[in-house]
Every structure is written in structure tokens, then in C-alpha cells.
Amino acid sequence: MSTTILTRKRPLSIPNLTGRVLLYAFTIMLSVIFIFPFVWTLSSSLKTAVEVEAYPPTLIPHVIQWGNYYQAWTSIQFGTYFQNSLIVTGLSLIGATASSFVVAYGFVRFRFPMRNGLFALCLATMILPQEVTIIPLFLVFKQIHWLDTLKPLIVPSFFGGGAFNIFLLRQFLTTIPFELDEAAMIDGASRLDILLRVLLPNSKPALATVAVFTFIFSWNDFFAPLIFLNTPSNFTIPLGLYSLKSYVGDPGEPKDHLLMAGSVIATLPIIVLFFSAQRYFVQGIVTSGLKG
């Protein structure tokens, strides 16, 4: 004979209910603040040039201008810029993810002199702004004749992948028990086998996080392409959008509506990537010690 115990949920008290309402209201307000720039960009991309400059501004276009997207795509070599960005971002993603994972594996699973000091030195590089290292890099790439090619935007990612990525992956690898390595060694696995068959499959959340960060940074990077590229056929999307505003048509003619349309097109791959890897991305942030 079974007995069923009925439990009654305690009603929320007024202070708890008020706190929850305030929390939801604050969250909704922050969401509106963060999403409004994208909504405004999307709205402006469907307006005429005159309506974008009108005051007071309007959020909803009077007549939706779908032709802005076609004009933005055809006014410049948008397809070429899109292809260049895909090449640079795809290869940089592979290089940064693979190299930072190997470096993080070395810091976590190996014992060697000055390990902690070298890791601290690696983290210290994050305080160096890109402007400090850009001149030496420019001189090096000039000597090896890499200027005005995509190589300066791709090759550096294969050498470590960046201090932040190394830190994130190191934090994640410390959560994987060493007993897995020992069990694999008993079965005759080498260090490379452990890296590829034990640690790599268990590091998908952290690797997805690194991939998302690397994709966003490389896709949106404007400064490095501006320094290293000169020929329009080698431009990436950020430089292409700049040329859309600066070099297309009459210099005095407003082109903000076309710039907004181009920005929406350029943002779509990032949105697709984020929502595709959202589950792994959030899990990677939480389990890597970066949770607030």
C-alpha cells in the first residue's frame, strides 16, 4: 500500500514578489537598451537617405526600402569582401582554437620550470594594446613581402591563439580529472592520444566559446586590415563598409541608409553562429571560471 504525500507550495510573500518583479523589470530594461542599437540599424536600413537624416527621428519607416540591400551589395565588391572575410575568419578560427588548446594543454598537464611565471607573462600580454605591436608587425610583414595580402590577418592566429583564449581553455582543462589521463596511459595511450581522444571531446563547450570569440573579433576587425591591406580586392567587410561610405557616388551624398543595410548583412553570420553554438557557449563560460 502506497501513500502519497501532498505538498503545498508556499505563496510568495510581498517582499519576495516585489523583488522578483523589480528583477524582471530591470532585466527587461537592460535587454531593451542592448537590443535597441540593432533595432535602430535594421530600421534605418529600410529608410530613404532623407528619412534617416530627418528630425525628429522615426523608428518605423514610412515606406520600406528593400532596395537598399541590393544597392549596398552591388555598389561595392560586397561579394569579394564577404569571401575575404570568410577566408580570414575561418582560417583564424581554426588556427586560434587549435593553437590555444595545445598551449593550454601544456600549461595544465605538464610540469616544467617557470610554468607559472610563463603563464603570468602570457596573461600580461593582454594589457598591451594592439597599437603598441602593430608597428613591429608591419615592419616584419614588410620584410617578408606579406603586405597587401591576407596572410598577416591569418598566420599570427596559429601561434598561440591569444592570451585570453589560452586562459579560458586552461581554466576549463583544470576541471577535467587527471584520472582520465592516467586511465588512458594504462591502456597504452600516448600524450597525443590523450589530447585528441580524451581531452578534446570533453572540451567542446570551451572550444565553442573560443570559436565564437575568435569569429567575432576576426570578422569585425577593422584596424589590422586598414594597416596591412591596400588593394580593394583584398578588403574585408569592415573596410568594405568604410569604402561604401567614402568612395561610392557623390562624397557629399548621404549614404547612411546603405551603410546600415551593409551592416545588417555583415551581422547575419555572427547572429547565426551565436545561436547555433549558444548552448556550448553558455556552458563554456560557466565551466571556465568566468561566471560573474
Which letter does DSSP use for residue 277 in this model?
A: S
Please, is 226 exposed, middle or buried when counting C-beta atoms within 10 Å of its C-beta (0-12, 13-18, 19+)?
middle
Give the contacts of 128 (CB within 8 A, at least 6 positions apart). Answer: none
Cite the residue boundaries of each domain of the chain with CATH code 1.10.3720.10: 71-287
pLDDT at residue 14, as a whole number: 65
For the four alpha carbons of 106, 110, 113 and 116, in that order, the dihedral sign comes to: positive
Q: Flag residues of the chain having pLDDT under 50.
A: 1-2, 6, 289-292
* CATH domain 71-287 topology: MetI-like fold (1.10.3720)
pLDDT at residue 234, as a whole number: 92
Angle at 98 between CA 219 and CA 291, to 5 degrees: 75
Grid coordinates given for 226: 586598414
How many other C-beta atoms lie within 10 A of the C-beta of residue 149? 15
pLDDT at residue 49, as a whole number: 82
Cα 279 to chain centroid distance, Å, stands at 15
Q: What are phi and psi of 46, to 5 degrees?
A: -110, 15
pLDDT in tens, 175-185: 888 888 888 88
- DSSP calls for 203-270: THHHHHHHHHHHHHHHHH--HHHHHH--SGGG--HHHHHHHHHHTSS-TTS--HHHHHHHHHHHHHHH
pLDDT at residue 1, as a whole number: 45
Local structure of 145: helix, strand or coil? coil
* Alpha-carbon gap, residue 42 to 36, rounded angstroms: 10
pLDDT at residue 21, as a whole number: 84
Which letter does DSSP use for residue 56 in this model?
A: S
- DSSP calls for 209-227: HHHHHHHHHHHH--HHHHH
- Do the Cβ atoms of 218 and 88 come closer than 8 Å? yes
